[in-house]
Structure 1
């Protein structure tokens, strides 16, 4: 009977996975995902409909073409748009501006306005290390005067903008653009070229920084006509399927079928494999008419994978080892670990395209706008090795292909040389901690281990999906699949000078901070399930920061710096209750997951300092920020109070495990007494309030989930029943709002809230709108965790690690099963 039931479950899972392969759409599809710098995505449902990009939105073009019996079919990527500069932005050169941080009077956007009290400045403008005009206020008003010689030869005029967070732009006194929310790198917006005048012109900007990083940059470009011939056909994409470690596309190209698989083997249980910066691109081709056909595949990777800005000069080369043919490219400058911040890509180290010699591949280097036409004309000659915007090209011959089919793969890798700076010491990547490894040896090892690694990935894909399906059903499992690679790829693995694991996150698209504790906190479930050692690696640096005396406070730090510089907190203020609670809760979760209090024992003195801070300051919090800092400061925050109570309860649980029964009793008594007071101060008829004694307000109490997950038994079941019932009356089409102040939400917190729902029906009711959001959001970026519940649009944030929090229900079930 049990055997039949298991077989039936397997059949259902297979059916769901097949169905999802035909129907599922992601906001953005992960292709190459290793870390925050080596991260390439497709932002369209069909792979050939858009240019592939870095998670920030900057073009990092990958192009794929299959030639069948002399006919070319494009299946991967779209030719990057080419632009001619009319007015340079800061990625090309600095420019002078007039600016003020005080709201100006009069019509300040016109040429006639006299900016008497304005200051002179030079771009770049923002708060990053390389910015020349340091902007640290909330508002800035900017005037840029320039001269245009002629406009007749402009094909299509585009406004080139990069900003953080909100912006209004005028050209010659007429508003031409406004947007709420940060840009995705440089964004191009068409404008009527008649608004541009021969002679003097002015672009005026008002930019608002609502929190986190700041930047303001503007230019004008002319969109040139594409160079790829119009007659190039596009392969018919039949399906796409996303698994934990792979994205698989199926195409028909004339008389041949092509399966294209991107594999980033992010297996958390194998740190050496996890840290190896090598992805596989596998091509499986077979005829679909029973006959044989001549087939070859073309792959082109832009050297923009190795630059921060497209105008940076690079040098590329072609060489070989005993078993591999290789292409390599990197910037001429090689400014190792010099740049920091959010909207920043790596411009040191080298990108590699490697083909096993057994594939018979031919490799060559061209300018990016020449690569496709070179392949189509049969040319495989290297025409350039230095410049900007080059292409690393590989032609893979398949010869005669019949119905049995054949498969070949290539590798895409990146050697960053040094990954992080940790309290002024540069750290190598985990895979080369000794400094004696080479990327060539890693690429060779990856090629040799290809069959075994792909098999491991396939097994993990299946087991992860099955576990998530068991915990929460198909929609929940699909959300976990979307979360898996995105969360992991927002980290880098290194070893500290003290020999500890450091699993550093970057706070993508929300400030660019390193190891932010309230980003670690929501992402934790994924790592607690699959490797608690990595969870320790997310806390080790924060513990060191305090225990070394570098952060001399009675509460935990917010972050360790601005990525990739982990030299100490750079966020403007602390979140003392938030971060102290987070650190204690996560330490308790590690102990629970490992079945041992050993990790807590290492840091008991620090934990004891933090818990006493929570006892003193945590129950009725003063006016301060919490993890939802975008919503602003809040006093008497009921959900933050829950975090303090749960943190105190976690400390008591760890004390019990360490044999300190007196401390365990003391702090558990404190926590339980706080619960009673909390219920009175937050109680409001059919729910609990956003802030104490504030009738009519409400909020998601997602911090309650740890009471259930860790078995603390602090809050009575009636609290969970009451809150869940109330939440179900407040949902919108795309989810439950964060609280009564706005209609936006955080999807990671919804998944936490759903986890403590009393019934599966209520769990599904809370999760289903998040699933709908993930599939229907009009914002095509790596999944945003902060979205509007009324229309599904991104409010802010993208590609962040926090969606590792989607795994909370699976973590809950795993830890409950250990009881």
Structure 2
């Protein structure tokens, strides 16, 4: 099956918030590849077919200052996007070339999930019944290991156990020395590794070697490359060539590994933590060697996972829904970093990409959890632990839940709103943490995780009992819309937070308390309906006539099967949304024409039949397919123009999996 959607950006190498490179073009040869921020992290792919040069990835000349005739691009004939692999097919002069990018983010094996190694696979064959002489060139630039291209890099080449490992790094190694949003890593080591074989040659040199390859397939390393070198000055690359020989109808294949050892990944309340894959002392060389040794088995598992998720997605929501899942999967995971605390407990740290760069943001974790509940609830616990630890400390002065624990990759305490009370999200974050706790404990069918943090959770539930039904003027997760008093959807979250407390009490065997909180939630829901009702739909805010909003928080009443709200609320809301739909989807509320992709899918999942669900989510597919903004899956866009509002590469696209979660159920 070939992909129908034209992704706004194609995931290529997607491991974590620093090691994440995409193609933001229709064809792999239309533009340089880029970091998710949009900064150039270039790769170039060239092929000689019977001595004639063609280009399949990036460009030969990185600067526009000097005229250079680029080799013609190969004809890109097909493209396929699956959850774990992006594959391009090219044809020219009787040769078919297949290039695949696979990051094996399989959540049932955390060592593999954390491993910062991504595969690039090449296959060629003749398609005209004639033999052809084929040579392939591929490189990656020093841009991958610096924040800005005026920084200088050093490099080395090692031969280890049948592999050649090229390595490049910023000359100044200062781990975790900066935090921020629109930044790239400039510490650690970047690797390109290949099999040590007679038909493979490797180079670390100026990008001028591309031109040498184009001219005659021969590369003579330059004599002037001394360390260190500014990336911009000589466009330093790590490259290999593969002499495929005379290619006939039988396919010949090869694979390389791109890897990144960040040395230290996260600073966690003053302690520098290494990535999860290092927990047993594995070195970067050993990690890369394992990636090669396990390649065949890993690819088989990836292909099986991709097939199953596609089948599940089609069954749950149709072909277009399945494609949305495929586009969201790698991004949702790669916006996190997996580490462990000093007690060996998982920490799954998100970066709030193109928002403010916060780390472990509660209202970023909350929309993402449908994906992780489906495939490994331990990762949801890993999202929540930093918040619990911070909230238990003397550094957190408030009676409600925090928003974040810092700015990526420094998790040393909340930075949002300068910790001013008026800038907090009290009802939002308390409700989020309670719903997340209930979801993960129901998935595991035990309440051990909640018991570990019960003083906080029960206190937050009581806060919602007192302040949640009719919220004061405050922010919610959609903080770009500003403060809003008496927010009906936020109230609904508070009610589901109280219902979540009831579920947790029930799992702990405290049935009287479970019933008390269940009845409290029911009473709140009855009052909610009276305050929010407006003829055939429900208001944006209590007391605001002729308004409306997506009531996405209601979905948990269906997922948890708690029956807190009257069933007709969901039915009326879905019918209303269908009347308010613009070309590219239903707006978030009556104030603006923008929407949030995650909340749109949650609201669509309220639908009781597949036709309604499809009608609500297909405009999202259209928006991604047609938008002029070539960025990783944005979750905030305009429903009339499909233009991105701001966000990109955020973990919240894990929320696209809500319909699949509904079909499989948490309970």
Give TM-score scaled by structure 1 length: 0.79
- The match for 2:420 is none
Q: In the alignment, which of 342, 359, 369 is matched to residue 514 of structure 1?
A: 359
How much has 1:80 moved relative to structure 2? 6.4
Over 6 Å off, 4+ runs: none
- The match for 1:300 is 139
- Larger C-alpha radius of gyration, 1 or 2? 1
- The match for 2:561 is 711
Unaligned ranges ≥5, structure 1: 1-17, 83-222
Distance 2:474 2:199 in 1: 62
- Tell me, yes or no, if structure 1 residue 61 matches structure 2 residue 48: no
SS of equivalent residue, structure 2 residue 343: coil
SS of equivalent residue, structure 2 residue 137: strand
Q: Spell out the pairing of 1:229-378 with structure 2 (5 A cutoff).
A: 229-230=69-70, 232-358=71-197, 360-368=199-207, 370-377=208-215, 378=218
Distance 1:457 1:550 in 2: 43
- The match for 2:465 is 615
- Tell me, yes or no, if structure 1 residue 679 matches structure 2 residue 529: yes
SS of equivalent residue, structure 2 residue 148: coil
Bigger relative contact order, structure 1 or 2 (CA pairs below 8 A, ≥6 apart): 2
The question of whether the paired residues in 1 share the 8 Å contact of 2:588 and 2:594 is answered with: yes
The question of whether the paired residues in 2 share the 8 Å contact of 1:364 and 1:382 is answered with: no
How much has 1:380 moved relative to structure 2? 4.1
The question of whether the paired residues in 2 share the 8 Å contact of 1:362 and 1:380 is answered with: no
The question of whether the paired residues in 1 share the 8 Å contact of 2:465 and 2:498 is answered with: yes
Structure with bigger strand share is 1
Once the two structures are superposed, residues 118-143 of structure 1 have per-residue CA deviations (whole angstroms, 9 ceiling, x without a partner) of: xxxxxxxxxxxxxxxxxxxxxxxxxx
Distance 2:135 2:279 in 1: 39
Structure with bigger helix share is 2
Once the two structures are superposed, residues 539-572 of structure 1 have per-residue CA deviations (whole angstroms, 9 ceiling, x without a partner) of: 1111111224432422111001000000010001
The question of whether the paired residues in 1 share the 8 Å contact of 2:60 and 2:211 is answered with: no
Once the two structures are superposed, residues 575-604 of structure 1 have per-residue CA deviations (whole angstroms, 9 ceiling, x without a partner) of: 111001000000100011112222212211
The question of whether the paired residues in 1 share the 8 Å contact of 2:169 and 2:190 is answered with: yes
- The match for 1:194 is none
Once the two structures are superposed, residues 515-543 of structure 1 have per-residue CA deviations (whole angstroms, 9 ceiling, x without a partner) of: 10000011110000000001111111111
Distance 1:77 1:645 in 2: 52
- The match for 1:547 is 392
Q: Spell out the pairing of 1:157-172 with structure 2 (5 A cutoff).
A: none
Distance 2:424 2:542 in 1: 22
Once the two structures are superposed, residues 235-273 of structure 1 have per-residue CA deviations (whole angstroms, 9 ceiling, x without a partner) of: 110011100100000001312101111010010111001
SS of equivalent residue, structure 1 residue 692: coil
How much has 1:79 moved relative to structure 2? 4.3
SS of equivalent residue, structure 1 residue 25: coil
Distance 2:230 2:653 in 1: 36
The question of whether the paired residues in 1 share the 8 Å contact of 2:368 and 2:651 is answered with: yes
Structure 1 vs Structure 2 CA RMSD: 1.3
Distance 1:531 1:355 in 2: 32
Residues 226 and 496 from structure 1, CA distance in 2 versus in 1: closer, same or farther, beyond 3 angstroms?
farther
How much has 1:81 moved relative to structure 2? 4.5
The question of whether the paired residues in 2 share the 8 Å contact of 1:501 and 1:536 is answered with: yes
The question of whether the paired residues in 2 share the 8 Å contact of 1:649 and 1:667 is answered with: yes
Q: Spell out the pairing of 1:475-490 with structure 2 (5 A cutoff).
A: 475-490=320-335
- Paired positions, count: 654
- The match for 1:442 is 287
Distance 2:180 2:168 in 1: 23
Q: Spell out the pairing of 1:96-495 with structure 2 (5 A cutoff).
A: 224-227=65-68, 229-230=69-70, 232-358=71-197, 360-368=199-207, 370-377=208-215, 378-381=218-221, 383=223, 384=225, 385-389=227-231, 390-434=236-280, 436-495=281-340
How much has 1:335 moved relative to structure 2? 2.0
The question of whether the paired residues in 2 share the 8 Å contact of 1:63 and 1:79 is answered with: yes
- Tell me, yes or no, if structure 1 residue 590 matches structure 2 residue 440: yes
The question of whether the paired residues in 1 share the 8 Å contact of 2:522 and 2:564 is answered with: yes
Distance 2:492 2:335 in 1: 28
